[in-house]
Amino acid sequence: MGENSHEEKRPVNQITRRGAFGAGLGLLATPSILAPASAQTAQQIAIATGTTGGVYYPLGGALANYLTRGIPGVSATAEVTAGSTANFQLLGANRAQLVFGQVDAAVDSVRGAGQFRGRVVPTRAIAVLYTNRMQVVTVADRNIHSIADMKGKRISTGAPQSATELFARRLIAAAGLDIAKDFRGVERLSPAESTNAIRDGKLDAYFFVSGIPTSAITDLGATPGTQIVMVDHADALANIVREHGPVYFAEQIPAGTYPGQTTPNHQLSVANILGMREDANPQLVTQILNILWDNREDWARVHSAARDFSLEQQKTTAAGVPWHPAAEAFWKSKGANLG
C-alpha cells in the first residue's frame, strides 16, 4: 500500500504468500478446520484476501499474525487472490478457510448465481467489516465525467473473478451501456496494472472497489502532471438496486482523499464481510472473533478502513448472507443489535 497523508498505517510484518490464488483452484492442499487446533499438530488457516494494491491484503496479513500468535497450534497465512468472487469459490472448494469478500459476491455464492453457475457455496458471515467503495477512476485529459462518457473509450473492469468486475459490469449495465458493444476496449486488470496503463496512454478509465484510500489510486493522483478525476455514478443506484437487490447504497468519498481530488465523489458502495463455511468449527470461529475484536485498534493502524469495524456494523441486513451460529452468538454476547 502506498504512503499518503490520509491513511494511518504501519508495516505489516510476516505477511506470507504461498502464491497468488486466482482463476484456478488447484492451489493448496485442503487444511482441516473441523477439529480444534492442538499444540501437537499445526493447523493451517489460509486467509483469502485480494490484490496487493487493495485493502484486503494488508488487513489479511495482520489478521494472520494475530491468529498465529493467539491460537496455539495454528499457522495462518494471508494469500493474494483476484478478490471476492475468487475467494468464495476457494471457500467452496475448501482451499481457503477464512475469506474477505463483498456482500454482493457472497449473496451470489449462497444462491449459486452469476459466476458460481449453480455451485452453491455454504458461505456464512462471521463479521461485517467496512464499506467497499466503487471508485471509477480517470484523468482530466480523457474528458470522462460520467459513466455515459465512457462510450467508445478503453476501460478496465477489474481483475478476473474479482468483486470489482462483478460490480463494474452491473454498474455499466445500470448506466445504460452494453459492455459487449459500447467500448473501444475492455481490459481485466488489477488496480496497479490499470494505473500504469492510464499513465502509459493505453487505458482511459478503470473501476476498482475497495476501502479508501487505496494505494493504486493514490499513486495515480500523485503522478506529476496528472489531474485525477473520480467519476460520479450514484445516479445509477435505483437501476442497480432494481436489478440486483438492496446490497448497494450511495455514499461520498470526501474531497482530498486522493492527491488532486478537489471535489467529493458521489459513488455507490457495498459492505464487506469476513466469511467462513457453514461447517466451520464453532470453537475456532469464536477464537477468531475474540482475537480480532481484541486487536481491532491495532488493525485500524494497519489500514484506516478498519476503523469502521464496530458493533454498530454487525447487522444481519448488512451481512447479506446467514450468520455462522457461533458468530451470531459472539456478537450478541458483545451487545450488538443484529437487527
Tell me what pLDDT residue 239 has: 97
Distance, CA of 211 to CA of 194 (rounded, Å): 17
pLDDT higher than 60, residue 6: no
Q: Model confidence over 45-79: pLDDT tens digits?
A: 999 999 887 889 999 999 999 999 999 999 999 99
Tell me what pLDDT residue 42 has: 81
pLDDT higher than 50, residue 14: no
Q: Are 2 and 212 in contact (CB under 8 A)?
A: no
Using DSSP, state whether 214 is helix, strand or coil. Answer: coil
Give the DSSP H/E element, type plus range, for residue 139: strand 123-139
pLDDT higher than 80, residue 40: no
Cell reading at 25: 483452484
Least confident span in 137-146, 245-254, 284-293? 245-254
- % pLDDT > 90, the chain: 79
126: exposed, middle or buried (C-beta count within 10 Å: 0-12, 13-18, 19+)?
A: buried
User: What fold characterizes domain 43-129+272-333?
Assistant: D-Maltodextrin-Binding Protein; domain 2 (3.40.190)
Multiple choice CATH, 132-270, 3.30.70.260, 3.40.190.10, 3.20.20.80, 3.10.180.10: 3.40.190.10
User: pLDDT grade, residue 161 (50/70/90)?
Assistant: confident
Whether a cis peptide bond, with omega within 30° of 0, leads into 122 is: no
Cβ neighbours for 229, distance < 8 A, ≥ 6 positions apart: 137, 138, 139, 140, 142, 144, 145
Instruction: Convert 265-277 into a string of H (helix), E (strand) and C (coil).
Output: EEEEEEEEEEEEE
Tell me what pLDDT residue 51 has: 86
Mean pLDDT value across the chain: 89
pLDDT higher than 60, residue 36: no
Cell reading at 48: 483469502
Alpha carbon separation from 137 to 116, 156, 238 (Å, rounded): 28, 10, 22
Instruction: Fill in the amino acid letter for 47.
Output: I
3-state class percentages of the chain: helix first, strand second, coil last, to nearest 5? 35, 20, 45
pLDDT higher than 90, residue 157: yes
Length of the chain: 339
Q: Model confidence over 79-135: pLDDT tens digits?
A: 999 899 999 999 999 999 999 999 999 999 999 998 898 899 999 999 999 998 999
| Average pLDDT value for residue range 248-271 | 96
pLDDT higher than 70, residue 189: yes
pTM (2 d.p.): 0.79
Q: Where in the chain is the domain with CATH 3.40.190.10?
A: 43-129+272-333, 132-270
Distance, CA of 158 to CA of 192 (rounded, Å): 10
Cell reading at 139: 484523468
Distance, CA of 275 to CA of 294 (rounded, Å): 19
Burial 61-94 (b: 16+ CB within 10 A, else e): bbbbbbbbebbeebbbbbbbbbbbbbbbbbbbeb
Cβ neighbours for 16, distance < 8 A, ≥ 6 positions apart: 61, 64, 77, 78
